[in-house]
Structure 1
Amino acid sequence: MWRAIISFALAFVGHVAGQTVYLAGDSTTAPGGGGKGTEGWGQYLHYSLKIPVVNKAFAGRSARSFTREGRFDEIGKLLKKGDFVIIEFGHNDGASHPDNGRSDCPGSGTETCRYTYDGATETVHTFPYYLEQAANSYTAKGAHVIISSQSPNNPDESGVFVSSTPRFVDLAKTAATNAKVDYVDHNAYALAAYKPLPVRTVDSCFPNEHTHTSAQGADLVAQAFVRGLVCGGSLLSGYVKNATSAIEGACLK
């Protein structure tokens, strides 16, 4: 009974105050995905929530380049007290030689590197550092932040289901812990959603290569995020619609 009362109260407050959910991420989240008939999971999240979703994710970006280009700042300028921001990166954050402007400095704390990109030398920080800086700036404005681990690549690509955990999954959790914000292990919940499906079905979710999803795959990955959201108890879970709060799947430990 109390849970129902709390959910109603949250929905009412959200309606009155006009809360909005903003998404920061790469092509796996962004409108249009990676192109060629793919779509980002962020385009399907609004079906699960009672409040508006604004997808500010942008293809080809990493935590570093999203910061350098002022995209985190752009979201910050739009925020009102009580808004939500979901931050998910990792696919483009790995090392590259020569530097492609996206690689983060190795490490999990305040380590820095000096990279040269596009003719300019840049002080580069670690993956958690970029996420923490963005999260801290948003919470200072009264927003609620959720750091999400990256969605998985095709786990059935080899014909045998492989549950891989890229290093940026743990680094995303580190950032959430340090910034004292909510965390959703999107990678784990998406893998759990793919696992019971036939190989052919999973493969169809990745029409071009192993990273970018079809519309069907994006919808599945969005539902997996919602399952992780509800299981994690984030304040945003109080705004999940009844139809999607009952998405099948057990909560992961």
Structure 2
Amino acid sequence: MMKSKILAVCIFSSFLLIHCNSTIIKKPTVYMVGDSTVKNGQGDGTGGLWGWGDFIGQFLDSTKVKIENHALGGTSSRTFQDLGLWDSVRRELNKGDYVLIQFGHNDDGPINDDFRARGTIKGIGDESEEIDNILTGKHETVHSYGWYIRKVVTDAKAKGAIPIVLSPIPRNKWVDGKVALNNTTYGLWAKQVAMEEKVAFIDLNTQMAVRMETLGESKVTGTYFYERDHTHTTARGAVLASEIITDELKKTTNTLQDYILEDPRILLPKKRNLFLVGDSTMADNGDENAVGWGVPFPVHFDTTRITIHNKARGGRSSRTFAYEGLWDSILKQLEPNDFVLLQFGHNDAGNIDKAKYRGSLPGIGDEVQEVMRPDGSTETVHTFGWYMKKFIRDTKTKNAIPIVLSLTVRNEWPDDKVEQRKDSYVKWSREAALAENAIYLDISDRLATKYQDLGKNMVKSFFPKDHTHTGIEGAAFNAKVIAESLKQCKDYVLRDYIFIQE
């Protein structure tokens, strides 16, 4: 009995010893300090912009090393330290940690102004400038770019951490097929500091420029950078930069290379979906004289982050879209946080119980009408608003986001005013959206106003076939107006994915 107790105590003591020893083992941390090209915003991809620090962790073995991205957009090597951001990192540093350092994009600004006051003296020397900071009201000694980089390096070394200096990521600026480099300014100065301090240097500026030139400007713009922003990368651009950094790290004698995965599995942010649900005024009808606005609509979206599915179908009303199972097929594809644009009305005024069988009852109430179809089956027909409310509710049950649009206007000008159905389908669309607490946009009114400004003759060219369907020119005009309307609504998450093409 005594031997059993002794054995149990020994086993328990061994377990405690092993457990305690395991807690003593601390994974090294890779810290990143820099500007928005390292971490954009909150690092959540707002506006589709990402820093390479948000993805480099996917190239490293997270079971052996931790990642902490402390970069802050808008900072220079100077303001990152003046704001106390470097001190907060320095205090946490332990022996064996790593610090990736990249600054330069914001160091070229004014040294003293009332806007940002973030510039540094050019070069790596010891010269300084005394200022009374207009922005902060404080007396300040401003140093050179190299001085600030050197301070981060020496502070890190003093804590036993391993600093790695990087030249700033290149901007998406091209001259005669070549990417503009900063190898005579901040890229050079970063390299000089690294050499003087005998620490690893990664020439991200040159190496990424080489990769960009291999791809070509037309491939880079729209995939790795946006046309609207030559400084900040897309997710793919951030991954490209991270890949270059880790490839360059493998060539150094720095021990961080021991944590680089041989075959990393890179996960890009999941794309959201936008479903277009409506009739021929939205659909791809395969007819150059009857082009729905949904056809050119994607040109106004960041399709690297959102996929647009044009599910509109010519000749359909809200009723037939549901009756034919078209709506159910969309429901099966809907995922949480997807978007659904709903727009009907042009065909809902058709026959309820005769050929085409596509008319819906007027209003948004619960009235019904039993209709005998040609095949002998009975269909329960509801109001236009009933169908719209069903689409809204069904979308919400999928945790997706419904957006109701009033129908497009026709090329009809009673009393020299653009025709609108304000007392019927426009009104009922709005009421259905209001009843179900859904987003609503009065596209009819917006288009009518635009058409009125253009005048009859110009608008006539938009409708080569009839008064309802637009050609490609009219479809492009309508698509832009709708995209602008969505973009102007600050409360809609969808606006983040829209950029208006001129």
TM-score (norm 2): 0.45
Return the letter of the residue paired with 2:461: S
Match of 2:358 among 97, 102, 106: 102
Tell me the secondary structure at the aligned position of residue 16 of structure 1.
Answer: coil
Note the aligned Cα RMSD (angstroms).
2.5
Deviations 1:16-65 (CA, angstroms, capped at 9, x unpaired): 121010111000000027x3622000111111111221100000000000
Letter in 2 for 1:222: A
3-state DSSP of counterpart to 2:295: helix
After superposition, the Cα gap between the structure-2 partners of 1:84 and 1:12, relative to the gap in structure 1 and judged at 3 Å, is farther
Q: Quick check: 1:175 aligned with 2:432?
A: yes
Larger radius of gyration: 2
1:81 matched to 2:336? The reply is: yes
Q: 1:92 to 1:138 in 2, by over 3 A?
A: same
Could you tell me how far 1:108 is from its partner in structure 2? 1.6
Q: Percent identity?
A: 31
2:46 matched residue in structure 1: 9
Number of the residue aligned with 2:280: 27
Indicate yes or no: 2:399 matched with 1:142: yes
- d(CA) in 1 for partners of 2:455, 2:362: 37
Residues 89-238 of structure 1 aligned to structure 2 (within 5 Å): 89-96=344-351, 98-99=353-354, 100-118=356-374, 119-156=376-413, 160-166=416-422, 167-233=424-490, 234-238=492-496
Q: Structure 1: give runs of 5+ residues left out of the alignment.
A: 248-253
1:92 is paired with a residue whose SS is coil
Structure 2 residue ranges without an equivalent (≥5): 1-39, 51-234, 236-267
Q: Look up the equivalent residue of 2:361 and give its one-letter code.
A: C
How many residues are treated as equivalent by the alignment? 239
AA aligned opposite 2:46:
A
* Correspondent of 1:52 among 297, 307, 318: 307
More off after superposition, 212-221 vs 4-13:
4-13
Given the two structures, how large is their TM-score scaled by the length of structure 1?
0.86
Q: Following TM superposition, by how much is the alpha carbon of 1:112 offset from its aligned partner in structure 2, in angstroms?
A: 1.0
Query: What is the CA distance between 1:214 and its match in structure 2?
Result: 0.6
Q: For 1:86 and 1:160, locate their aligned partners in 2 and report how far apart those are by CA, in whole Å.
A: 30
Cα distance change of structure 1 residues 136 and 10 upon mapping to structure 2, 3 Å threshold = farther
Residues 155-212 of structure 1 show CA distances to partners (whole Å, capped at 9, x for unaligned) of 44x6933342251111111111112111111111111221211322100111111000
1:159–1:199 Cα contact (<8 Å) kept: no
Q: SS where residue 122 of structure 1 aligns?
A: strand
Q: Is residue 406–residue 442 contact of structure 2 (8 Å, CA) maintained in 1?
A: yes
Q: Higher relative contact order at CA 8 Å, sep ≥6: structure 1 or structure 2? A: 1
Confirm or deny: 8 A CA contact 1:184 1:232 kept in the other structure.
no
Q: State the 4+ residue runs in structure 1 displaced beyond 4 angstroms.
A: 4-8, 12-15
Which residue of 1 is the match for residue 316 of structure 2? 61
User: Structure 1 residues 220, 9: closer, same or farther in 2, change over 3 A?
Assistant: same
Deviates more, 1:129-138 or 1:224-233: 224-233
- Pairwise CA distance, 1:95: 4.1
Cα contact 1:39–1:213 (8 A) shared by 2? yes
